[in-house]
Structure 1
Amino acid sequence: MLRRLTLTAIVSLAVLSAAAPGAAAASGPLPLLPLPQGEDDARTRLTVTVSEAGDPSAEGVFELECAPAGGDHPAAEPACDRLAELADEGTNPFAPVPRGAMCTQQSGGPATARITGTWRGRHVDAVFSRADGCEISRWNNLRPVLPGIR
């Protein structure tokens, strides 16, 4: 009986493991590919809203435009450079933490941020927090678009 249960569990796991990549590919988001420099950069206009950061100068609503860097974001040029770097890597910095991700249960404080607008011609509406290790990493990956938090 135990042998049959073990065999059933192993076979089920193998079937699910083989099916999961195909199911994720069919239903998941398309990969973000790097775009050529130039006209697509001009379509980057973001509104960054930061609250409870613990530093009044880091909190508020900031406009960020790229190509050329502008707006009232306190670090517009480095922020645009970081966004371009992430695009060149093929990374979507606005993607949420994947479901089922194993995250450390640590708190990075009450800071929250929301970024809306257009990044390289793509609609953006992303929420950031510092609620656990994955969210802290996601926030830190987007510095200096988001402020550094201690």
Structure 2
Amino acid sequence: MLRRLVLTAAASVAALSAAPVAAHADTAADLGARAGDRLTVTVTDAGEGQDGTFDLECRPTGGSHPDPAGACATLDQVPWGKDPFAPVAPDAMCTMQYGGPATAHITGTWHGRHVDASFKRTDGCEISRWDSLVPVLPTTAGA
């Protein structure tokens, strides 16, 4: 019984003493990932001068994107815990409106997470989703 108590106490002390190190490592990894956020944005059928494939880098801001500072600022304003690239919920009720043929595909890394998201303007929910990311995505002729 005494042996079990000593082993349990030793295991608890070891677990507790390792916790701050793990928390610090996660924080450092998160900051490192955010320091190198990189996205590739491919846009088609959005209107004259809007189509193409653009690189977007944040922290530091750069890349071939037409408005990297505005795009990074838009993404940085997304509330903590909300995924700006999340698809429309399958059970969402969306207005039946057409916003044009524009499509976009965003890949890369944002806040340390892999991004692979597609965008279109085929109904009210998809139009709203697209518009929430302007200027990451361009304003379209259908907007």
**Shorter-chain TM-score category?**
0.7 to 0.9
Q: Which of the pair has more CA radius of gyration? A: 2
Counting matched residue pairs gives 114
1:122 has 2:122 as partner: no
How far 1:126 sits from its partner (Å)? 0.1
Give structure 1 stretches of 5+ with no counterpart: 1-34
5+ long unaligned stretches in structure 2: 1-26
Relative to structure 1, the CA distance from residue 133 to residue 147 in structure 2 (aligned partners, 3 Å threshold; closer, same or farther) is same
Which of 54, 67, 71 is the aligned partner of 1:75?
Answer: 67
CA shift at 1:40, angstroms?
A: 3.5
Deviations 1:17-51 (A, max 9, x none): xxxxxxxxxxxxxxxxxx99953322310000000
Provide the aligned C-alpha RMSD in A: 1.8
String of CA shifts for 1:109-132, please: whole Å, max 9, x gaps. 000000000011100000000000
User: Match for 1:131: what amino acid?
Assistant: T
The two structures have a TM-score, normalised by structure 2, of 0.75
* Structure 1 segments of 4+ aligned residues over 2 angstroms from their partners: 35-41
Identity within the alignment, %:
57
Question: What is the DSSP-based 3-state SS (H/G/I as helix, E as strand, rest coil) of the residue aligned with 2:53?
Answer: strand
Letter in 2 for 1:48: V
What aligned pairs does 1:1-150 form with structure 2 within 5 A after superposition? 38-55=31-48, 57-86=49-78, 88-149=79-140, 150=143
